[in-house]
Structure 1
Amino acid sequence: MQVKKWSAVFVLVFLLSQTFGQLKTENVVLITVDGLRWQELYRGADPSIIRNKRFVEDVSALQREFWNADVELRRRKLFPFLWSAVATQGQVYGNRDFGNRVNIANRYRFSYPGYNELLTGKPDKRIKNNAKRTNPNQTILEFANQHGKFKGKVAAFASWDVFHYIINTKRSGIHINAGNDTAKSRLTARERYINHLQRNTPSPWKGTRFDEFTHNYAKEYLKKNSPRLVLIAYGETDEFAHSGAYDEYLKAAQNTDRYIQDIWEWIQSDSRYRDKTTMIITTDHGRGNGRRSWRSHGPGRAGSNHTWFAIIGPDTEPLGEVKNKSYYYTHQLTNIIASLLNLNYPGGGTDSSVFVNAYK
């Protein structure tokens, strides 16, 4: 069984890097959607939740916006860009209805452990929760920033302020804008306006701002500084899910699809990025299954280790929705990023002891 699981690793690497040495990718944009379940990605609005007045303020209005009896049409309502563009020009993994399984390996199933795993290529038993402690591990972002052609060309934008600790702002030296951070140097007129709006738009969540600010700060930085490796981490989906607001969770998910479209279309319009950039989209953890447990995640919540990812770029074959029965881990993406950028990142690899119950 272990051989079968790991065979998928080599298939994935081959699909992405079969022309290694002649890759067209010069830049990577990594986008994360905090706590977005695979169920909504692949099935659209959940029929067991969308009609539940406990979680939905206006059932009729939400169904008009997001419901269709046909699963494929329903998921297109929620993620129109992903299913019209990414799924036709790139690859999408994690539809467990076909036995295509993507998991996190860490047993804690919270955000900090998930992001550490994603950005370092392996889980760490020391990182058990979301406490604001500086990460002892070197992320792929920090590693890239130490290499000449990427020095000063790595950046991260996040709605959640804990990313300062996940990426270790002080040690890594990369540009990080997270939480309530504002733009601070050589401001464009738009950055000044975004700063003004953020200062005057209080967030309902402690430590997390609205994704609209994260998105616009990231896009302005791309335009102005041309970074080679960028992380954009959206957070509203997780916040609304924890509060039990399924209507707002769906709207945040759809907004994220719009943000992804905006970034990708801008990339394809700019000569510095067009046909030279790979975009990877994923999440840090899953959530519970069904109406009783969809709000939460953690070590005792079944389904919260179930994740997904999508890839689009000049070196990615247009396989669309991958339906073969295979196993993947989101932390494999670290080595994919390193390979695409021709970086010999030493942090990848997996401590086999963390694989307990990983595929349940």
Structure 2
Amino acid sequence: MKKLAFVLLAALAVSPAMAQRKTKNLIIVTLDGMRWQEVYRGADSALINSKFTNDKEDVKKRYWAATPQERRAILFPFLWNTVAKQGQLYGNRDAGGKDEIANPYKFSYPGYNEIFTGFPDVRMNTNDPIVNPNMNVLEYINKQKGFEGKVIAFSSWERFPQILNVNRSGLPVYSGYSGLKNADANARLKYLNELQQNVPHYVNDSTRSDFVTYEYSKEYLKQYKPRVLFMSFDETDDMAHAGNYKSYLEFAKQEDGFIKNLWEMVQADPFYKNNTTLIITCDHGRGYAQLDSWRHHGSDVVGAEQTWFAVIGPDTAPTGEVLTGTTYHKQLAQTMALLLGLDFKANAGHEVGDAIKSVLTGK
């Protein structure tokens, strides 16, 4: 009898990775270099009134309000009217929450490596097109039963084929101005292959418009029904580096609108409705110690390690802002896997950060 009781207890003690999840599909969206300050405070009065903002009165009219709560809802209406009510947000330092990158370099390639490999590798200290030796969680998911060929990435920045090591991983990664190669692609996707070559190149001839990246992601989702979609925007970082605060705010609000439209489309689709989790985050923060440092990030920039993320889905308790403890982006890879009932094991042998259990438990 004692042995039988022990067996029953052991059977009930299912590990979190093996627990039954409602999440069957996953969408990850990144806003490159988007500061937590605007996410939680809205538009910054010091920057609006600085040399970094042209047409100050127009910016005040469009983005300013008396309180941070009002301003952030103006700038990120989807985050604050939907995710904050139905999901969770992390990284509001004003209220005691902390979310950070663990890598010491505080710029894009190391940041994305950390998010997707769960490993703040000190060797990843470049934005050059070096091939990432670390196994990533998208690659891992794509090899699991039921997910084969159902993982896709679209990014504005051209570096993701190297970050996600497409030659080894076999992941379809459409970055920069690369066009979709599927022979059976619908007319809209084929048109986007042509359109992206003719839209204005805001940054350079390698990084495409976030609008086109969004349109690719949306149309691919409609036709092919991937189980995991990664969509990466870039223009918030570009406008910050350019010192253009008005455009930084405009692109942030536009991207919030893209995510809202995508989520509404997902919730209207029987394939995705009520079984899809959405994670929204960034790759690094920006400076704050001096006014000019908002434009910059890197190992010598105070505050560039400070980040944020948000999550909404059927397994995530609607607790709103999570204000206890510190979370790290190295934990996001295992969190993504855990949401799908998987346990991310990197066969390259590198460490993987522990999952953020409060995403699932609310505690």
Same structural fold, with TM-score higher than 0.5 when normalized by the shorter chain: yes
**Shift of residue 183, structure 1, vs aligned partner:** 2.1
Tell me which amino acid in the other structure corresponds to 1:241: A
Alignment match of 2:352 (pick from 349, 352, 357): 349
- What's the CA shift string for 1:266-302, capped at 9, x where partnerless? 1100011001100011110000015221000000000
How many Å separate the matches in 2 of 1:333 and 1:96? 19
RMSD: 1.6
- What's the CA shift string for 1:19-47, capped at 9, x where partnerless? 96221000111111100000000000011
**Shift of residue 159, structure 1, vs aligned partner:** 0.4
* Residue in 2 that maps onto 1:323: 323
* Residue in 1 that maps onto 2:137: 140
Alignment match of 2:163 (pick from 155, 161, 166): 166
How many Å separate the matches in 2 of 1:131 and 1:303? 24
Q: Is the 8 A contact 1:35 1:237 kept in 2?
A: yes
- What's the CA shift string for 1:232-261, capped at 9, x where partnerless? 111100011000010000001001100110
- TM-score under structure 1 normalisation? 0.90
Report SS of the residue matched to 1:328: strand
- What's the CA shift string for 1:100-142, capped at 9, x where partnerless? 1000000001100000000011110110021110110111011
Report SS of the residue matched to 2:295: coil
Is residue 116 of structure 2 the alignment partner of residue 119 of structure 1? yes
* Residue in 2 that maps onto 1:44: 42
Q: Is the 8 A contact 1:123 1:350 kept in 2?
A: no
How many Å separate the matches in 2 of 1:22 and 1:197? 43
* Residue in 2 that maps onto 1:273: 272
5+ residue gaps in structure 1? Answer: 1-16, 352-360
Report SS of the residue matched to 2:123: coil
**Shift of residue 350, structure 1, vs aligned partner:** 5.0
Is residue 187 of structure 2 the alignment partner of residue 189 of structure 1? yes
How many Å separate the matches in 2 of 1:344 and 1:138? 14
* Residue in 2 that maps onto 1:249: 248
Distance 1:64 1:20, change over 3 A: farther
Tell me which amino acid in the other structure corresponds to 1:158: S
Tell me which amino acid in the other structure corresponds to 1:189: A
**Shift of residue 205, structure 1, vs aligned partner:** 1.9
- TM-score under structure 2 normalisation? 0.89
Tell me which amino acid in the other structure corresponds to 2:38: E
How many Å separate the matches in 2 of 1:341 and 1:256? 26
Is residue 237 of structure 2 the alignment partner of residue 238 of structure 1? yes
How many Å separate the matches in 1 of 2:343 and 2:274? 23
**Shift of residue 228, structure 1, vs aligned partner:** 1.0
How many Å separate the matches in 1 of 2:241 and 2:230? 23
How many Å separate the matches in 1 of 2:59 and 2:74? 11
Report SS of the residue matched to 1:199: coil
* Residue in 1 that maps onto 2:359: none
Alignment match of 1:25 (pick from 23, 26, 38): 23
Is residue 68 of structure 2 the alignment partner of residue 71 of structure 1? yes
How many Å separate the matches in 2 of 1:106 and 1:211? 26
Is residue 196 of structure 2 the alignment partner of residue 198 of structure 1? yes
Detail structure 1 runs of 4+ shifted over 4 Å in the superposition.
Answer: 17-20
Tell me which amino acid in the other structure corresponds to 1:322: V
In the alignment of these two chains, the number of paired residues is 333
Percent of pairs with identical residues: 47
Report SS of the residue matched to 2:237: helix
How many Å separate the matches in 2 of 1:61 and 1:47? 13
Alignment match of 2:32 (pick from 34, 37, 40): 34
Report SS of the residue matched to 2:28: strand
How many Å separate the matches in 1 of 2:117 and 2:326? 19
